[in-house]
Structure 1
Amino acid sequence: MNYTGVDTLRPNLFKEMFPYSEIPKVVFNNIQLPMEIPEDIWITDTTFRDGQQSISSMTVEQMVKIYDYLHNLDNGSGVIRQTEFFLYSEKDRKAVEKCIERGYEFPEITSWIRANEEDFKLVKEMGIKETGILMSCSDYHIFHKLNMTRKEAMKNYLSIAESALENGIIPRCHFEDITRADFFGFVVPLATNLMKLLKESGIPVKIRACDTLGVGVPHAGVELPRSVPAIIHGLRYYSNVPSESIEWHGHNDYHSVVTNSTATWLYGGSSVNTTLFGIGERVGNCPLEAMVIEYGQIKGNTKNMDLKIISEIADYFERELKYEIPPRTPFVGSEFNVTRAGIHADGLLKNEEIYNSFDTRKILGRPAVVAVNSYSGMAGIAAWINGYFDLDDSQKIDKKDRRLLPIKKWIDNEYENGRTSNIRNDELKELTLKYVPNILGNEDTKAI
């Protein structure tokens, strides 16, 4: 096949945007692109591939357990559609075999391999239908890492894709460093040539747009190559890549990984690649749990996903993998919906919706709770009791209940004597059972 391309003798490193001696710059062109959310959008997972490179190596049993969790979280919805594994080691292959034996439809097992014939044979022998293949796109990589010209890189990448198709394997082409690549000089020609292979073979060819250094920008009106909307729009309209063949893989170097992934959906890409809790190289990948919530906001529902499983996975990571999730991490941290301010506690006591944007108890299995300290007051103590003992409306303690007075006095004495830490749950439980002994029966609430 004759491949089209744009060659150049010198690399285009976009030094006006990436001067290196300064923070990268955002260049605006004020071009407004249309939002075109695909009817079907979904999430893919790379916890076992990109994610596992950043934490202690998982055992076969741990990988299988987490795969079970992903399946249970998806719950037959197809939203968490795929997960990818390395196939380099005997341990990785054993884990894949065990996961395949589960027979789950979702998430589908895919792989990531080196671009050689032996690895293609391995993929085929294991019955895996799709594999990731690295195709570095920026001149930083082509000229300075691979020591190739664009023409040589193009020929090499396309020959690898052809080998995958000849083996009946769907190639998922990882366009590494796309947010520093010459979009019209290399990305569009490569994507266009890959779509020709799709047309000739009748086998899907996918493109994973990789924001390798996290420099992508989600805002409208930003110049390429940093513009996520322009990249997704451009793949669709200049290279005729169908939405279902476009996937985004981001990193969080500039705190934009979630908004960049969301922008992919908004501007026409069907798939976003994630890891559990955002684990991954350097500052990590896009958190899977964040995109589950983004999916729910965009689509207006979460299908039949079981979001309570997210809390179970977080517990498993901390207990079995010794992975510490920062306590204020949205949706999964131990304190993501814990309030300390007395005025907020009073609001929660009056109506939980005042300081909780959705029913975290019902959806995530995590009730809104109050941490009690020197600023909590009677409202904070009452809110803690109601939350900790999971009291319904007929049982709830009011902040004017005089049985709270000795608890408040004990807490005040603690801080007057120099305490600086929060009152622990076990301490509060003991105090509550002492001064409100009928709390679970809660016969009557005596106001002050």
Structure 2
Amino acid sequence: MVVLNENTGILEKRCESYTLQDIEKPNLYKDIFNYDEIPKCVFDYKNIPISPAKNFWITDTTFRDGQQSRVPYTVDQILKLYDFLHLLGGEKGIIRQTEFFLYSDKDKEAALGCMERGYKFPEVTGWIRPLSKDLELVKDFGLKEVGFLVSSSDYHIFKKLNKTRQQAMEDYMSIIRKAVELEIKPRCHFEDITRSDFYGFVLPFANELQKLMVESGTPVKIRLCDTMGYGVSYPGASLPRSVPEIIYSLRTLAGFDSELLEWHGHNDFYRSVSNAATAWLYGCSGVNCSLLGIGERTGNTPLEAMVIEYAQLRGTLDGMEVSVITDIARYFEKELDYIIPPMTPFVGKSFNVTQAGIHADGLLKNEEIYNIFNTGKLLKRPVGVSVTQTSGLAGITLWINNNLMLDKNSKLDKKDPRVKKIKDWVDVQYQSGRVTPISDVEMIETIRAIAPDIFILTM
């Protein structure tokens, strides 16, 4: 079928018929994924055009994938985190959905508690295996949407499920049809899509889902699961690893609208954020994330990162309350005893803290020189400095002004003799063999001992 693309004004092929290739031996792409070597990134030089979806949004898997690599959250903790997600996503619901297991009593209690909050966003959805008994759980719970695990690579179909492609697709379609009959919207999680035979299985399966949508009038979503983090965003990269080509093909060849596509990436090769942003740019409306990126192995795409990425790509936060990111980070550290690596962007203790004296000098003159944006205003995290042997007069001055919260009329200059006294004390510490930074408590004690009148400026 040929259709006119309203965005580009040119004709494109849509919904070509792709026949399932029910091969006897699995296609494991061993030329790319030789297990004894680093995976190869192959190029076919196809020019895939950027075609962003009209709307971007974020979905959350903190209470599903995010619980698979840590101590499970308590019900109260889930409710608190759900409240944070609601506040962070804002009234427009940029954080659109969150998903739950429904197997244990605790999972059910938490999901029900979140539903009873009455928030429109994020919508509570479920996740199940493609089994009739699991679907009954969703029906009994009254959820409007559920995600099905529908593994798509031959690694999973042949080696994990011990099935043929035909058997796998028939089993998947059977349970998806049952969901539609029960008026439950299916979300199909194409597990391991970046190692899948796209023309031999992914597109034929997607075409069957497209037919089901036409017949039933029920929307069917596809979640593109980069389960092992193999996806790449490079122009001209080839399938099965190319994020742009995966999304382009599902949109133009299988006819799936952007609103029905969602990217779920892992960070095994440090690409989760760039791949998620690429998914948005090439026509995927949804990106699936977890708070702080916590998840299987190296984790999922950090939700807070995509909040910031949204603002960079759209030029607006669209009502998201970005300062809640800091509240979430503090909750994880203080209430959940979770250690956030200090250099982690946006949430780590040191993400906007400098130890270099030359940087501190620049910050003292104008913090825009060395701070990524107004972190004090947006994240409730004023730019900071750590006092070390390299901090110099500027670093110590900046520490005093920021930590004692001196206003613009009281702020010290690095030429102030009191700053020189404190620097002399710092120098002695490192001349004596110290290697660790000066703690905040030590700095306060030293100021009280050497220059106590500085505290008068805070009154």
TM band (smaller chain): over 0.9
Partner AA of 1:271 in structure 2: G
The percentage of aligned residue pairs carrying the same residue is 56
CA RMSD in angstroms comes to: 1.6
Task: Determine the structure 1 residue equivalent to 2:5.
Answer: none
Task: Determine the structure 2 residue equivalent to 1:110.
Answer: 125
Task: Determine the structure 2 residue equivalent to 1:182.
Answer: 197
Query: Mean Cα displacement is larger for which, 341-350 or 393-402?
Result: 393-402
1:306-355 per-residue CA deviation (whole Å, 9 max, x = no partner) reads 11111111111122222111110010001111100110010100110000
Task: Determine the structure 2 residue equivalent to 1:200.
Answer: 215
Equivalent residues of 2:146, 2:187 under 8 A apart: yes
- Once the two structures are superposed, the pairs formed by residues 104-143 of structure 1 within 5 Å of their partners are 104-143=119-158
Task: Determine the structure 2 residue equivalent to 1:244.
Answer: 259
Equivalent residues of 1:404, 1:435 under 8 A apart: no
- Once the two structures are superposed, the pairs formed by residues 16-415 of structure 1 within 5 Å of their partners are 16-415=31-430
State the SS of the aligned residue for 1:13: coil
5+ residue gaps, structure 1: 444-448
Equivalent residues of 1:45, 1:82 under 8 A apart: yes
1:56-84 per-residue CA deviation (whole Å, 9 max, x = no partner) reads 11111111111111111112231111110
Equivalent residues of 2:18, 2:199 under 8 A apart: no
How far apart are the structure 2 equivalents of 1:439 and 1:202?
71
Equivalent residues of 1:4, 1:193 under 8 A apart: no
How far apart are the structure 2 equivalents of 1:51 and 1:152?
30
Task: Determine the structure 1 residue equivalent to 2:24.
Answer: 9
Q: CA deviation at 1:200?
A: 1.4
Q: CA deviation at 1:125?
A: 2.5
How far apart are the structure 2 equivalents of 1:395 and 1:171?
61
Equivalent residues of 1:56, 1:321 under 8 A apart: no
Equivalent residues of 1:252, 1:285 under 8 A apart: yes
How far apart are the structure 2 equivalents of 1:433 and 1:143?
70
5+ residue gaps, structure 2: 1-16
State the SS of the aligned residue for 2:150: strand
How far apart are the structure 1 equivalents of 2:285 and 2:150?
20
Equivalent residues of 1:138, 1:181 under 8 A apart: yes
Q: CA deviation at 1:86?
A: 0.3
Equivalent residues of 1:120, 1:167 under 8 A apart: no
Task: Give the counterpart of 1:416 among 427, 431, 454.
Answer: 431
Query: Mean Cα displacement is larger for which, 109-118 or 388-397?
Result: 388-397
How far apart are the structure 2 equivalents of 1:293 and 1:58?
26
1:366-409 per-residue CA deviation (whole Å, 9 max, x = no partner) reads 11100001111110001111221233333321111111122111
State the SS of the aligned residue for 1:84: strand
How far apart are the structure 1 equivalents of 2:405 and 2:271?
36
TM-score between the two structures when normalised by the length of structure 2: 0.94
How far apart are the structure 1 equivalents of 2:439 and 2:335?
24
Query: Mean Cα displacement is larger for which, 391-400 or 212-221?
Result: 391-400
State the SS of the aligned residue for 1:259: helix
Distance 1:77 1:16, change over 3 A: same
| Matched length | 443
TM-score between the two structures when normalised by the length of structure 1: 0.96
Query: Mean Cα displacement is larger for which, 430-439 or 143-152?
Result: 430-439
How far apart are the structure 1 equivalents of 2:406 and 2:112?
46
Distance 1:3 1:36, change over 3 A: closer
Moved >6 Å (runs of 4+): none
